[in-house]
Amino acid sequence: MDTAEIHRRFLAHFERNGHTVVPSASLILDDPNLLFVNAGMVPFKPYFLGQETPPFERATSVQKCVRTQDIEEVGKTTRHGTFFQMNGNFSFGDYFKAGAIELAWSLVTGSVDDGGLGFDPDKVWVTVLPSDAEARAEWKRVAGLPDERIQDRGLEDNYWNMGVPGPGGPCSEIYIDRGPEYGPDGGPVVDEDRFLEIWNLVFMQEELAAVRSKADFDVAGPLPKKNIDTGMGMERVAYLLQGKQNMYEIDQVFPVIERAAALSGKRYGADHGDDVRFRVIADHVRSGLMLIGDGVTPGNEGRGYVLRRLLRRAVRSMRLLGFEDRALPELLPVSREQMERSYPELGSDFARISQVAYAEEDAFRQTLAKGTQIFDLAAGEAKQSGAPSLSGQKAFQLHDTYGFPIDLTLEMASEQGLVVDEDGFRSLMAEQRARAKADAKSKKGRHADTAVYRDALDANGPSEWLAYTTLSTESVVQTVIKESGPAAVVAESEIAEVVLDRTPFYAESGGQNADAGVLEWDGGRAEVLDVQRPVRGLVVHQVRVLAGELAHGTPVHAQVDPQWRLGACQAHSGTHVVHAALREVLGPTALQSGSYNRPGYLRLDFGWSNPLSPEQMHDVEQAANRALREDLPVSAAVMSLEKAKEIGALALFGETYGEDVRVIEIGGPWSRELCGGTHVAHSSQIGTVVMTSDSSVGAGNRRVEAVVGLEGFSYLARERDLVAQLGDLLKTPSEDLGDRVSDLVGRLRTAEKEIEKLRAAELLSSVSDLAARAVDVAGTAYVGHVADGLSAKDARTLALDVRGRLDPARPGVVAVVGTSDGKAACVVAVNEAGREAGLAAGELIRPAMAALGGRGGGKPDVAQGGGTDVAGAPAAVAAVRDAVGSAA
């Protein structure tokens, strides 16, 4: 039975039994504690925690999951993987233990012809908590299991909680006996390789007051409503039903291994080391496919870093198998073919997915070419030093300068028998992050502890948010928060955060900057600097008090700056227009991956590998401004997420959405996107769109920037003034400026070439004279020369030419220091006779660089360096002379 069929049967079984089928949530959810969704119940947490009322009493899903804590172990065993699917059924105060056990038993042992999975009932074992007599009795009643196949396991195995106060309860796990060839008899308490767990039924029945560990917690009392949460491992069920040994051999995974084997010429199963690489490739390619499908893009932080690491490990594993060409274009389509039966959106979105993945591989291939040379040099130096380790500084340099992930450095070091100072590396990374956080904090000034915001929400309830309908409200200050925590009053000139009972201010979200404006009260006034939503439901205003004191409980008049809001609406609607124009010009794969807009300005990131040509930038700008001229209507409507998808509304990849979403249309289907921002009423109100730049923001991603509204007209006016100034300066009409400037540039380049020829001739004329003035230093012909105005390139040319004029039968060394623009460039060249005598340019240049206050190095025949101490030039050539004498 293939995996897609198991997927279908699971959902169909529970749908027949009154469950609402809930599509898999994105791997990215709005949960600050989770990098990715890592369990099937995660999307339902708000219901189990009582934060939201579930819209159904019974639900079922097949949830995409990613766990990343064991990436290094993937492939080394057949149990570790990053992407997996969790089949689950959920009851919110509806059925409980009896119902969960009946539903599970009927699916697991039901006949294939009747829609079941067809496991032999005699092969099923279960475990229960010793104190859970009810679960044991239900297994005997429903399944007729004998006592010996219902085994007791303690709290560590058979009790579930979230690690924090909240719901908890005993579990009952279902195991399948794989047979004596997999281990000894005696059930799962004896051997979990032979007896493989496939399903965990969680009976949430208790409220936990404190959780110190999985087996150490305090029970506050029973839950007011008992719930069911179950998780069946899709991949485990698949390899049991398909007669395979492990998850890597199932139909959704193994074809990638087969393709990798064909490309590399290696055979899976022949060598353990190669098998590890094959499994890494299969797992990481599938995980990368699913993560990009849900909007993750490669980067250096958080989710993006995990994706980058997965893709690069897969590519490098192919290289270690001997395949040097681009690997992902060969492997990713294979994974898509297997996965799109269960997730059809992978097929329709594959152009974008593949574009992101292939661009990342191309970038990594360049990184490998540069970074590997640096790594090999550092590794060689480490081995020569007698201490076989790489410093944290060197690992950080590889990461920060050459894009080498630390895990890659660790792997490569291990292959060469070296260790890496990980503590030193992580200390340097922590310093870098601390600097970044300090910078961000100085710009935002937000309180770091979200507990103060949750307390404010609990005390007063959610903020009444009126940004869509008004620019002013009469409000009351409910909470005041300073850097030290909650406070009673904000004095004049102080900056603090305040929560109002109602607010017209737009809080920064969806790429749109927060509103500006003022709070006014009897005897006082404050400017609003920033508006954020640190926790769901709460709007927090950062304010600076300009006059008077602002206290808890003060009635205030909250007023948004109308010109600021108009500019914000123009910029946000302009972002949608530019997005639609990009897709019109470049095609449907040019999908937005991020944006930012403030009054008068917008930037938009989108999936695209190549720089936009001037013609493409012009066409995008033209398409955008046509939409403005046509005065397209702009409308907002709230609808279900499914309805929004049906009508083709575009969602921002990486964002999470509730069941009801807001759809913004500009000109109907021309631009139809999910969006929570503020907008103009007609496209003409945007004023104008002026495209100003196109740049790269990572592999497979571009960024365009534009100005709109009055700022757009001002930008064009400045361009007009600049053209007029150039015309006056060059005495040329504006329409002829292009030809005139082109002519001037051509003449300038010709002049530069002539100057270069004269400089070269001057250098050559001095070569013979310098060679003739060589002095004897311990049997070596030595030339030392300092020249003002000599570039590094010219210094190298001169040194090599002088070396070529020295007697080849005699050891010779030339040192040239050129000074220019406050910097010094030093070149040391040694002829063949000198090298045979033991002289090396790379060694001789070191004392010179010490005199110049810089660094340098090179090969035995020629070395080069630069420094900032121009006054040390004479001492530098003298130091080389002394080094020649010492070496002799």
pLDDT of residue 763 exceeding 90, the answer is: no
**27-43 confidence digits (pLDDT tens):** 987 666 678 998 999 88
- Topology given in CATH for the domain delimited by 3-245: BirA Bifunctional Protein; domain 2 (3.30.930)
| Whole-number pLDDT of residue 153 | 94
Pick the closest to residue 290 from 63, 33, 604 (CA basis): 63
Q: Residue 833 burial (CB < 10 Å; 0-12/13-18/19+)?
A: middle
| Whole-number pLDDT of residue 20 | 94
Binding residue positions for Zn(2+): 572, 576, 675, 679
Q: What angle do CA 638, 643, 646 make, to 5 degrees?
A: 135
188 C-beta neighbours (distance < 10 Å), count: 23
* Least confident window among 352-356, 423-427, 471-475, 536-540: 423-427
pLDDT of residue 392 exceeding 90, the answer is: no
Q: Fold match between 454-560 and 565-717? A: no
| Whole-number pLDDT of residue 580 | 95
| Whole-number pLDDT of residue 444 | 45
Q: What distance in Å separates the CA atoms of residue 836 and residue 474, rounded to the nearest whole number?
A: 89
Which contacts of 611-618 are long-range, i.e. CB under 8 A and separated by 24 or more positions? Answer: 611/694, 611/696, 611/702, 612/586, 612/694, 612/702, 612/704, 616/585, 616/586, 617/691, 617/694, 617/704, 618/691
Mean pLDDT of all residues in 604-609: 87
Q: How far is CA 666 from CA 369, 624, 647, in A?
A: 46, 11, 14
Pick the closest to residue 795 from 878, 696, 863, 847 (CA basis): 863
**643-656 confidence digits (pLDDT tens):** 988 898 887 765 66
- Which residues have C-beta within 8 Å of that of residue 722, sequence separation ≥ 6? none
286 C-beta neighbours (distance < 10 Å), count: 26
Mean pLDDT of all residues in 522-536: 92
| Whole-number pLDDT of residue 31 | 66
Q: Are 527 and 518 in contact (CB under 8 A)?
A: yes
Domain ranges of the chain: 3-245, 254-435, 454-560, 565-717, 760-887
- At residue 535 the predicted structure's pLDDT band, cuts being 50, 70 and 90, is confident
Q: Are 48 and 204 in contact (CB under 8 A)?
A: yes
How far apart, in Å, do the first and last CA atoms of the chain sit? 80
Q: DSSP label at 888?
A: -
Binding residue positions: 572, 576, 675, 679
Domain 565-717 CATH class label: alpha beta
**437-483 confidence digits (pLDDT tens):** 554 444 444 444 577 888 888 888 899 999 999 999 999 999 999 98
Q: What angle do CA 502, 506, 510 make, to 5 degrees?
A: 135
Q: Are 200 and 171 in contact (CB under 8 A)?
A: yes
Edge-to-edge order in the sheet of strand 689-696: 592-598, 601-607, 701-708, 689-696
Q: Are 281 and 335 in contact (CB under 8 A)?
A: no
Q: Are 489 and 572 in contact (CB under 8 A)?
A: no
Residue 316 corresponds to which amino acid? R
- At residue 203 the predicted structure's pLDDT band, cuts being 50, 70 and 90, is very high
Pick the closest to residue 877 from 799, 811, 806, 815 (CA basis): 815
**667-713 confidence digits (pLDDT tens):** 999 999 999 999 999 999 999 999 999 998 876 788 999 999 999 99
Q: What distance in Å separates the CA atoms of residue 155 and residue 216, rounded to the nearest whole number?
A: 9
H-assigned helices in 630-779: 641-646, 709-730, 737-772
Q: DSSP label at 779?
A: T
| Whole-number pLDDT of residue 34 | 78
Q: Is 667 left (phi over 0), alpha (psi -120 to 50) or beta?
A: left
Q: What distance in Å separates the CA atoms of residue 886 and residue 880, rounded to the nearest whole number?
A: 10
- Topology given in CATH for the domain delimited by 760-887: Diaminopimelate Epimerase; Chain A, domain 1 (3.10.310)
Count of positions (residues) in the chain: 888
Q: How is residue 151 written in tokens?
A: 């085994």
CATH number belonging to domain 454-560: 2.40.30.130
Output the average pLDDT for the chain.
89
Dihedral of CA atoms 58, 59, 65, 69 in degrees, nearest 10, equals: -10
pTM of the shown model: 0.67
